Every structure is written in structure tokens, then in C-alpha cells.
Structure 1
Amino acid sequence: MTTPTPAGPPALDTAATTTHGAQLSRSLGVGGNVLITLSGISPASSVFILGGAALATYGTGVFWGFLLAGVISLLVAYCYAELGSRHPIAGGDYTLVNRVLGPAAGAAVFFINLITLPLIVAIFGIGVADYLGVAIAGLDPMWTALIVIALATVTACFNIRTNAWVTGAFLFVEMAALAFLALLGFIHIERPVTALLDPQALDAATGGLAPLGIAGLVLAVTQGIFSYNGYGGAIYFAEETRNARRTIARAVLWSALITVVAEIVPLSAILLGADSLEELFGAALPVESFLTARSGEAVSIVILVAIALAIVNAIIAIALQSGRLLFAAARDQAMPAAIARPLATISPTTRMPVRATIVMGVIALAACFVPFDILLNATGSTLAFSYGFIAIAALVVRRRRAGETVPTGGFRMPLWPAPPVVALIAIATIFVVGILDPAQWLSLGLAAGIVAAGFLYYLLYLRSNPGAAHLLEADDDEPEPVK
């Protein structure tokens, strides 16, 4: 039986605004967008937390793993850049997938981000006490997380330019910490650069180094991809970036490139400058151990406090992204009108989606009470699903529909379709390795369940509501006067 075609989306009044009826403040330049995006990635906390865990598990394989992960991340960044240039609309992955692959896939990606963004904020919040604790004894992780997330949510409700300045100041501190870490390694090199090219990890049985197998190297690549994640966050601020159709791709690509360099350089410096690789890989916290050995206890405390500030900065940036995700979905009528109406409003004072930001902040606060292992498992494999949807969208985005015109002045990735194809192959490899590893089954199962819930939401609600999830076209991205 043929389903009747629903009526087209309601006419959208774009005469009053160039931001799809929302009055978001188009006052960010490319630099401001990159500052907020890099803050959400938090290269410093990635090096200390994810990079440190990778050193302990994969040894010198971290160099090849993070290098290959950097190549894959730049390919995915090309996908984000072209998709964002064609659809410079707030909402991140959800808006891109929704407009290219349709509302069913869009609902799946919306569910991924709706669940994982608050969970990531909760994970970061709980981790703040570990680093602040070196300077302030007796901090309770739960209360620290609740206070930090509440303050970050309030900050994320300020106007976008204020947030760019706040996150930029924090970002300067964490990039300085990374530069100092790299300097410590490079001024006291203990082994030749060729040592980086031989993947070896600590053998628990012998206490010495042993060759790292292909499976271990693939897992190191996976860790690197997760560590670099977040450059696509530039799309969340597309409606607040001037001349977005022509500049949003630069924000994405610069964010990805800076992240890869900012993480792989200090990790390489640590591998070259550590007194003993066996001791480094055997340490409970390899990066902190190297830092203390090279700079002393007092300087180490200062750097670790800087990392705590970097984590707080990341929470602010992710709170900004979370608010725009919920705002964009509400504006698309991807939820019942009684819920969507208040969430799709903009504060007339700050021109920010304050209600949507607060709601996502409250969800993040509630997530702090979820057991930490569940938080980690629920976010561990969702990234591969998100990247998979983005790569597929980048493959089909150049397909012309009847009556569709190709936007002018946008970014077109070089060597298309090679970047999304290679990215999909890499993502498929990660899935295969995850399926073969029983330790990854829970994480993969939770991620697959979230995606399935999104498709089920489409089947049970969106498909039967013609007014829901209508696609807003980005028909004008010229800047508004900055007030």
C-alpha cells in the first residue's frame, strides 16, 4: 500500500532574519568559532587522559596509531566541511544528516547526540576533582561535578562572543601546558626518532617491551580517533559565524588540523624524552609521571591545575553545543509542539537558546548519578556510528534532486569521493575489531540500541506527523549587523 505523501513543510519567513527565524547572533568570525570548537575537544585533557591510557596499553604504537587516526580524522573533517558548507545550520551532526539522508537517519543521530553529549559532560565533570585535587585536598568528585556543570551551564547562556572570549582564555592556558610538555621531551631526548617507528608495548609477563600486533595498532587508532573527536562541533555555531557558507569549512578544517598537531607532538616528545619506556608504560598515569620526573612536583601541580581548567573549558563548550542541538531539533518540530515551542525560543537579551541549554544542563547533572562504567560504555562506540552517518552523507550530498540548485561559494572537498570512502573503510574496520573483542560488546550494544531507538522514534512518531522534522533550507548566510 502506498503511503500518501504528506503536505510540504510550512513556508518559512526568512525576510526578517538570515538565521531561519531564530535571531541567533551572527557575530563570530572563523577564529571565534575555532576557539570554542577547540575548547570542546580539549587537546590537553585528551593528551593527559586518553593519551596517557594509550601509552600504558599500546606503548610506542601510540605514534602510528595517533598518526593514522589523524589522517582519518582529517578525511572525516573534509566530510564535515563540505556538508556544513552546504547546510550551515545550527545543530551539528543532526542537522547535516537530517537534511542529506532524511529524517529517519536524522532522528538516529539526534538520539546519539541527545544522549551522549550530556553523558560526556558528566564524565568530564566527575574527572575535574582528580586534577583540582592536587591543589585543593578533599574534593568530593560528585559535588565538584555538580558545581562545575551548573556553573558551565550558566556561562553557556551568556552571549556567544562572551563565550568565545572565556573559552579562548582557558584554551590559551591548556595549549601553553601542552607546549611546555613537548618542550620537556624535546630538550632531553633519550632515543632516536626511529624508535617511534617500531610499535612496541609493555609485556606484563616479562616487564620488557614486545612488538605490538595489528589488532593492538587498530585499537590505538581507535583511541586516537576518539581523542581527536570534536572538530565537527564547529557546525553547531554555523548560524553564529559570519559568511558561514564560505567560512564554516575553514573552521572545521583548522580545528581538526590544530587538534592533531597539538596532541601528537607532545605525545611524541614524551616517547622520545622519557628516561625509560618500560617505566613510562608501566606507570599508573604515564603523562603525569613523565611531567613530574622532568619538571618536579611544584610545576607538575601547576600543570595539572591547568588541565582541570581545560576540562572545565570543555564542559562549557559542550554545553554550548548541547543547547544548539536541542534548539535545532525543536525548531525542526522533531518533538511534540508543547515541548518544542519553548525550546525553540531565543533569549532577546543574549540571543542564545537559553531554555534548550538549561534543559541539556539539567540532563547532564542527572547523568552524574549514573554509574561511571555505564557512562563510559554508553559513549564509547557512539562516535563510530556518528562518523559513519557523516561519511555516508558526504557520499550522497552531491546527488542532485529535481529542482535543487547547488549552493555557490561553498567548500567542495578535494578527491571526492575518496575521503568519505576511506573514512567508511576505517570505521568498518573499527566495528569489526570491536565485534571480535568481547570487552567492546556492551559499548557496541548500547550504541546500537541508541541508534535503533532513534529509528523507532521516526517510525512511531515523526513519520506519522507531517509537520514534524521539516527541513529548513539554508537559503541565506549573509551576516547580520553586529549589535
Structure 2
Amino acid sequence: MMSPQTPPGAAAAALDTAATTTHGAHLSRSLGVGGNVLITLSGISPASSVFILGGAALAGYGTGVFWGFLLAGVISVLIAFCYAELASRHPIAGGDYSLVSRVLGPAAGAAVFFIGLVSLPLIVAIFALGVADYLGVAIAGLDPLGTALIVIALAVVTACFNIRTNAWVTGAFLFVEIAALALLALLGFVHVERPITELLDPQALDAATGGLAPLGIAGLVLAVTQGIFSYNGYGGAVYFAEETKDARRAIAKAVLWSAGITVLAELVPLTAILMGADSLEDLFGAALPVESFLSASAGEAVSVVVLIAIALAIVNAIIAIALQSGRLLFAAARDRAMPDAIARPLAVVSARTKMPVAATIVMGVLALAACFIPFDVLLNATGSTLAFSYGFIALAAFAVRRTRATEAAASADAVSPTAAASAAANGYRMPLWPLPPAIALLAIGAIFVIGILDPAQWLSLGIAFGIVGAGFAYYALYLRRSPAALHLLHGDDDEEFSA
């Protein structure tokens, strides 16, 4: 804690240094906004989102993808506003878990921790099991399981290198996938077959007639939901808060830049495909619409090169998510949110690489084990958890303003220049509050309503409710009986590792 005589500039510098030495951990504060954005975008993997989720959306919702992904982009930016304000107030490693636990309390934090603990390794497994499908265009006969295990092992090893090395590695891969998206956009816009005004009337393929038919409001809402899932991941910037310079201001920028770039990187090529496809009926009826458009527009040889680039993009995403998942477990261990015998080794940071190696390896082992779970179970187990995470973030974005108001009132009576500097360092405040979290909650509510009305989603929703319920049960049975953990999770030591 700074003395009352410490000048504000020195206080900020001290906080920046303290963020690297939390509870004996030594994370390296060596990332700028750009490095953080490179890793975050790599975890989102816009190219694989366009080919996989975007392709599925084209098949299901036709030209409704334009409105669906456009509206989803607006909602995603509003959720990014929530992340940005929360992260500037609590720039702590651990992602959603750290934000929610500090603002809504340790019970909600435990629920979000369980969501991440389960979903992140499963997402890595899902991505890894799909790598063979794309590498198969160049290397025939690849075994999906064997390929997945090798890819995860290599990704986890890479994730144990220092953070700047990972920023460079993921940045190089990211350049390749952005080039693939730029090619898609170029192919569509160079050979425009229909004006953008034709996309304003949502139409989808009618399986009965083989022609186009108007897309109902329910289908459009589902397209929006698909877009939200496709853009997901910009909140990943928060995982690297303690490794980002001038974190209180920089993390908000990293979140907002990541969200904005993701929306453009996915919406523009999908719009180009809709405008440039020779036949919308053929496009929507194809088993793999984006690959079909690419092959028809650029030829088989170019398609093979691009599909290999998508495989590299997926590997890149696995590296980035391995980095995030390691910091989730590290942050929870450092908060003593688990028994000391488990927490102590997981909270250790390598003296050489300044990375939470043990926590990263443990999460990698969980991802390796998840590869042996049936693929449809993996999808169901991760399908509805995102809506819960966003719901907690939106609720926290409401609550954080009340916390800020209390702090501002306290600092107004303080005579310490350090207290005044700390109050001034609260950071980013979202525009139009409380509209962003309110609209986000409405969108999340719509996702839940759709899920409840669709029996096909009941299993996914049930698993998600079970994970959240397990988190609250963990709090009730263990965490609330741990004074040390509650002290940290209420944010009492946040100055020690925020900047």
C-alpha cells in the first residue's frame, strides 16, 4: 500500500509493478494492446468461425445471415462495452471468473469458474478433433483422434513459452487466416451477382421446393444467436490483464478492438459470399457452403491452400485458448478458491518464462481427456454455457457502477493524493449505460427462450444449468467456509495486482 505522501504518478507505477508480483506469482507485464489483441483474436479464430459457424448459418438461414450477423455484431459490441468497463475496474488475470467474483461475489464467481473449468478444455477438444478434416485435403488418411492429441500437446507446450513469444506465434498464424478471409471477400466483391439490397429481405432455402422462401422471425432470431456464438471470444483479452502494460486503460481498448475487428472480419466476407455467389439456391443447399463458394470462385488448388490455412487457424485458436484456460486455473488457485494442497502448485509461475506452467498443463491434460468424449456430447456440454457467462457479465456491468459510486464518494472525503489517483484510475466507462447491459440481457433471455422451446436444445441447457448449479454448490459446501478465499474474492487485495 502506498503512503499518503506518494505522488500519483509513482502510485500508478507501483501498482503496475505490483501486478506482476501477486502472492509470490510473477507474471510478465510485457504485452501492449496490440499483442493482447493478437492473442485474443487468435482464440476467436474469425476464419474458422466463417467456414464452420458461418457456413452452417448460410445453410440454415440463407440471406438472413446478413441481418442476423449484423444484429449479432451490435449485441457483441454492447457486451464488449460491459467487459471493457468491468476489466478496467478489475484488470486481473482469470477472465470472466475474476470479473464476476469481484463484482457479484464469490458465489456467482464460483459458478462462472465452473463454466470455464468445464467449457474451455471441451472447446479445445472440439477444435482439435476438427483439424484432421481440414488437413485431410493435403494429408490423406489422418486419424481425427490421433491428430487432435498431437495438436493439443504441441499447443500446450507452446502456451508454456513466455507471453511475448506466444503473441508472435499466434500473430503469424492470425495473419494467414485474415488473408484467407480477405480472399473470400475479394472473390465475392469482384464478381457481384446481386446488390446488397437483395439481402435486406431475409430468405432461406425451402427444402420442399428447392427454392427460396421468406425467413420467419424465429429463424432470424436463431441467425442472430448463431452470430453471437460466432463472434464470441473478445472477452478473452481480460485473461491477459496482468501481462498487459497500463492495464486499466489498455484492457478496455484490447476488448473493444478485438470485438470490432472480429465483427468486420466475419461479417464482410459472409456478405461478399452472399453478393457474389452464382446461385443462392446452390449455395444454401451445399453441404459446406463457404467451401463450395470458394471452390467455384477460385478453383480446387486455391481451395486446398485455404483449407490448410483454416487448419492452421484452428491450431492457433487452440494455443490461444490454452493460454486463457491456464490463467483461469492460475487465478482461482491464487485466490485460494480451492484447497491449499491443490492451489499451491497451480499458483506457481515459472521463474524463467513468467508463465503459469502447472495450471496450463493441467488444463491441457483435461483437454486431452475430453478428446475421448463422444463429439455430440462435447457439443451439448458447451452449447449453452456462453449464454450463462454473458448473463453474469451483463449483471456485473449493472452492479459495478454502484461499486464505483461508493468508491467515488469515499475518495471525495479523502485527503490522500494516492486515494484520489486511485479513484481517477477507475478507467473506462461505457457509453449509454445502462442500455448495453440491458440489451445484452434481453438478447440472452431470447436465447434461453429459444432453447426452452426447442426440445433439441434441452440436453445442452440441462448440462449448462448443471454446471452452474455445481458452481453454486461448491460455494455453499466449501468456498463460503474459507475466510482467506472470501477475502480475496471480495476484491480486498485487488490493488496488489491491478494497474
Same fold by TM-score greater than 0.5: yes
Mapped partners of 1:14, 1:395: distance in 2: 26
1:4 aligns with none
Of residues 379-388 and 397-406 in structure 1, the stretch that sits farther from structure 2 once superposed is 397-406
2:103 corresponds to:
100
User: Match of 2:495?
Assistant: 475
Deviation at 1:16, TM superposition (A): 7.6
Partner of residue 10, structure 1: none
1:185 equivalent in structure 2:
188
Partner SS, residue 213 of structure 2: strand
For 1:374, the aligned partner's letter is V
For 2:167, the equivalent position in structure 1 comes to 164
| In 2, Cα distance between equivalents of 1:29 and 1:259 | 19
Could you tell me the TM-score, scaled by structure 2's length? 0.92
Deviation digits for residues 100-139 of structure 1 (CA, Å, limit 9, x no counterpart): 0000000000000000000000000000000000011110
Is residue 2:409 matched to residue 1:408?
A: no
Amino acid at match of 1:149: I
For the pair 1:353 / 2:356, whether they are aligned, the reply is yes
Q: 1:124-180, CA deviations, whole angstroms, 9 ceiling, x for partnerless residues?
A: 000000000001111000000000000000000000000000000000000000000
Q: How does 1:312-461 map to 2 (within 5 A)?
A: 312-400=315-403, 401=406, 407-409=423-425, 410-461=427-478
Matches of 2:442 and 2:410, distance apart in 1 = 30
Change (3 A) 1:267 1:24: same
CA distance in 2, matches of 1:168, 1:335: 34
- Note if 1:18 corresponds to 2:19: yes
Distance in 1 (alpha carbons) for counterparts of 2:96 and 2:17: 27
Residues 1:194 and 2:197 aligned together: yes
1:110 and 1:347, CA in 2 relative to 1: closer, same or farther beyond 3 A? same
Q: 1:382 to 1:146 in 2, by over 3 A?
A: same
- Distance in 1 separating the partners of 2:257 and 2:220: 27
SS of residue paired to 1:416: coil
User: Does residue 232 of structure 1 match 2:235?
Assistant: yes
In the TM superposition, residue 408 of structure 1 has moved relative to its aligned partner by 2.0
- Please tell me whether the aligned partners of residues 243 and 478 of structure 1 are also in contact (alpha carbons under 8 angstroms): no
AA aligned opposite 1:422: I
Q: Distance in 1 between matches of 2:497 and 2:279?
A: 54
Partners of 2:315 and 2:363 lie apart in 1 by 16
Deviations 1:44-91 (A, max 9, x none): 000000000000000000000000000000000000000000000000
Structure 1 or 2: larger helix share? 2
Aligned to 2:3: none
Post-superposition offset of 1:419:
0.5
Give the conservation status (yes or no) of the 8 Å contact 2:206–2:212.
yes
Residue 401 of structure 2 aligns to a residue whose secondary structure is coil
Q: Between Structure 1 and Structure 2, how many residues are aligned? A: 467
Q: Which residue of 64, 67, 75 corresponds with 1:64?
A: 67
Q: Quick one: distance in 2 between partners of 1:15 and 1:231?
A: 23
Assess, with a 3 A threshold, how the Cα gap between structure 1 residues 412 and 476 changes in structure 2: closer, same or farther: farther
The answer on whether the counterparts of 1:245 and 1:477 sit within 8 Å (CA) in structure 2 is no
For residues 88 and 15 of structure 2, what CA distance do their matches in structure 1 show? 19
Provide the C-alpha distance between the structure 1 equivalents of 2:16 and 2:303, rounded to a whole number of angstroms. Answer: 56
Structure 2 contact 92–497 (Cα < 8 Å) conserved: no
Q: Please name the residue that 1:290 is paired with.
A: 293
Q: Tell me, in whole angstroms, the C-alpha distance in 1 between the residues paired with 2:389 and 2:116.
A: 9
Superposed CA deviations along residues 331-377 of structure 1, whole A, max 9, x for unmatched, are: 00000000000000000000000000000000000000000001000
Question: 1:248 corresponds to which residue?
Answer: 251
Instruction: State the AA in 1 paired with 2:218.
Output: A
Q: What is the TM-score normalised by the length of structure 1?
A: 0.95
Q: Is the 8 A contact 1:47 1:263 kept in 2?
A: yes
- Call closer, same or farther: CA 1:150–1:190 in 2, change over 3 Å: same
Give, in whole Å, the separation in 1 of the partners of 2:270 and 2:92.
35
Q: Per-residue deviation at 1:407?
A: 3.6
Letter in 2 for 1:51: G
SS of the aligned residue for 1:210 comes to strand
CA-to-aligned-CA distance 1:7-34 (integer Å, 9 cap, x gap): xxxxxx9898333232100000000000
CA contact (8 A) 1:243 1:477 kept: no
CA distance in 2, matches of 1:431, 1:246: 34
What are the ranges of 5 or more consecutive residues in structure 2 without an aligned counterpart? 1-13, 412-421
Q: Counterparts of 1:16 and 1:215 in 2: how far apart (Å)? A: 51
